Chains A and B, each alone.
Chain A
Amino acid sequence: MPITRTLRDGELVIKDGANPPLVLTVVLDEGDLSWTSQQKTIEIKDRGSIASGHTRPGEEQSTELSFSAKWTQLLGRSHQPTDPLALYETLMFLSNTGLQSTSQPGEQQTLTLEFTVMDPAGQSHEKITFLKVYRESLTMSEGDKANLIAFSGKSFSPAPTVSRVS
């Protein structure tokens, strides 16, 4: 019987454009990563008739994604060079973090998100890579049990790359 994956099997890692990249493992994420790939299609109907009509591929769409995480410190390396990177300063590309965009100079600042889903049987782990991820919104909120960062953005690619990892 196939074993379904749950949020317990996931791990989200953020990398920048340096070589070798700066790496941040999001250890306090809520397990609510969500992404949507869209496909646009142009429908051409012949005088209203679908049967006589045809379709054409439409414009490519970038991939929307979102996730949230608990936060402790907002500032890490941007405050103290010997501290680890914090999630907030990474997503905001704050100065003094040393982060480099994965896009060309002059373009929007982007990062790479790698989401690994572990196989509970230990054999068929998969890595889902989102390239050129740019931030659209970052919502910070307080809570009784934990304060949360909610990230919403897009990956400038039609779909993430999925690959098997050992």
Chain B
Amino acid sequence: MTPPALLHALIHHCRPVIPDGTTILQPGDALTITPSAAWAEFWIDRISTPIARRVASVSIDFNLTINCFGRPPTSSHGVSQLAEQIRLRLCQATLTLSGDHAGGYLKLAEPECRDLSRPATAKAVGLWHWLIAVRGTAPG
């Protein structure tokens, strides 16, 4: 699967838990953040092919990183809640694939959540930042 196809499937899976008004961004998207209160950036920042026989079916390992941002009127609690909802949605999820990879599965492991809000920045600009990282496997 290509990174855009992976992102499409993963964002589609997370959309039900992302509140209305939260912008979802992919690599290359441009957003003027001034009017935005909350946004989430979805990245596939690593794809690797495990060592395998040449005759074996190809699979890939990947890392999905989601950066959740928020600023007033969104509160720190609001951004951490967004991150938590996405974490629960992704934890050990198995996604059934359609289209080019119909019949295949996208499997996710256990995510890690980190609060990267810097107090000085938060006080000055009011920017909250949570990061969610999860690895997964998908058809090659």
Contacts and interface: CB of A to CB of B under 8 A. Distances in A.
Contact of A118 (B54, B57, B109): B54
A25 B57 CA distance: 12
B124 interface: no
A10 B51 CA distance: 12
A144 B135 CA distance: 12
B12 interface: no
A11 B55 contact: yes
Contacts of A25: 55
B77 interface: no
Interface residues of B, number: 8
Interface residues of A, number: 12
Interface string B25-68: 00000000000000000000000000111111100000000000
B72 to A, nearest CB: 41
Contacts of B51: 7-8, 31
Contacts of A27: 53, 55-57
B5 to A, nearest CB: 22
A87 B109 CA distance: 26
A69 to B, nearest CB: 10
A3 B87 CA distance: 47
A45 B57 CA distance: 57
Contacts of B53: 7-11, 27, 29, 31
Nearest to A116: B55
Contacts of B56: 27-28
A7 B50 CA distance: 12
A66 B46 CA distance: 34
Nearest to A11: B55
B100 to A, nearest CB: 21
Contacts of B55: 11, 25, 27
Nearest to B56: A27
B55 to A, nearest CB: 5
A28 B57 CA distance: 8
Contacts of A8: 51-54
A113 to B, nearest CB: 15
Contacts of B54: 8-9, 118
- What are the 10 closest A-B residue pairs judged by CB atoms, nearest first? A11-B55, A8-B54, A27-B56, A10-B53, A8-B53, A31-B53, A11-B53, A27-B57, A9-B54, A7-B53
Interface of B: 51-57, 109
Given A8-B54, A27-B57, 4 more contacts: A7-B51, A8-B51, A9-B53, A27-B55
16 contacts: A8-B51, A8-B53, A9-B53, A9-B54, A11-B53, A11-B55, A25-B55, A27-B53, A27-B55, A27-B57, A29-B53, A31-B51, A31-B52, A31-B53, A118-B54, A144-B109
